[in-house]
Amino acid sequence: MLATLIHKRVVLGISGGIAAYKSADLVRRLRDAGAEVQVVMTAAAQQFITPLTMQALSGNPVHTELLNADAEAGMGHIELARWADLVLIAPASADVMARLAQGTANDLLTTLWLATRAKRAVAPAMNQQMWAAQVTQENVATLQAHGVTVFQPASGLQACGDVGAGRMLEAVELAQHCANLFQTGLLTGKRVVITAGPTREALDPVRYISNHSSGKMGFSLAEACIEAGAQVTLISGPVHIATPDRVQQIKVISALEMLAASQEAVALGCDVFMATAAVADYRPANIAEQKIKKVGDVISIELVKNPDIVATIAQLPNKPFMLGFAAETERVEDYARAKLHAKKLDMIACNDVSRTDIGFQSDDNAMTVFWHNGMKHLEKAPKAYIARTLVALCAKQLINHL
């Protein structure tokens, strides 16, 4: 089965050991599967394979130093930790695994390991006796207890001449295992409809009313739902983002077009409706057939209210599970709670778009999620991470909805 890591960001950590030669092939396999790869190498790893080799294969500068002025000016260890969807250490030596288990942070690799919210995995590689040692197995158990995935080593002839368990898995196997980490199955068999991006409300043939929505949150949710096993229909306004793999995209322009597409998609079958689109509240009452000329210092345009898409879908007799979004600039939580009840939603995620570091156009977001008997704060993180968290929350609440 071909691994799929499209749009995923992988930090590959390489520690010291002869198996480091396999890491070169692993970078190629990860990129072939669609991942973007950043490589971090320990000092010992550089004795086995050069940073120049890994830079050529990954297409990115290799990170080797914790306190590097140039790296801090660009992508420091915290930014690198936040960038990743997955941190994989392959090979993971006995020494590195011991330091990870103890929470040591004395080099770049172990520091970013502690600083990341991303999925974490290790692919051990060491002498068979070292792997079998009780302390090593205790470290493995500690890592697993902390939520780390351990890709168990294979058995066979080792570089030292011994035969036994301790060989790092082959690159093609590791790439597939990495892809499998994102396949949660939380929405297996469910049909999800997502609205994303802005709408454009035409004034004349060349002008329109719109907003700053990029569609990134909705597209991240579409990817997260695919990972969770759902069948996804993505109804998007005008955006400049590639359609996620295995997602059916319906492109629309105006709020009325988005409503019609949403109603049609829901009628075909929908278990979850996620309304992330920033739909224009109003549209011009009349669209000029010709370009409006500049006449005088003041112009008046009559606007009429657009239909509320999420509220309209929520009024259906057998409505799907409804996740709404509230992008506000003040009293964010108060407005979100009011919308949750007024629009008959099952869940709402709100954020403060007056912040310049999150929301519209940003790759990051921070949200507070409300449902009828609970809430959860999601601190600032990449939108892909926020999306996976929202999908997990929806899946849990969906059980109660059904």
**Is 160 an active-site residue?**
yes
Dist. CA 119–CA 10, nearest whole Å: 10
Tell whether the torsion through CA atoms of 43, 48, 50 and 56 is positive or negative. negative
Distances (CA, A) of 258 to 301, 328, 398: 23, 21, 24
Catalytic residue among 160, 178, 270, 394: 160
Query: Do the Cβ atoms of 105 and 111 come closer than 8 Å?
Result: yes
Strands 154-157 and 163-167: antiparallel
The helix (H) or strand (E) run that includes residue 87 is: strand 86-92
CA distance 191 to 282: 30
Which pair of structure tokens corresponds to residue 239? Answer: 């955006």
The token pair that represents 201 in the structure block? 């409300």
Beta bridge partners of 272: 192, 321
- Give the phi and the psi of residue 185 in degrees, each rounded to 5: 75, 10
27-38 per-residue burial string, b: 16 or more CB within 10 A, e: under 16: bbbbbebebbbb
Q: Which are the catalytic amino acids? A: 160
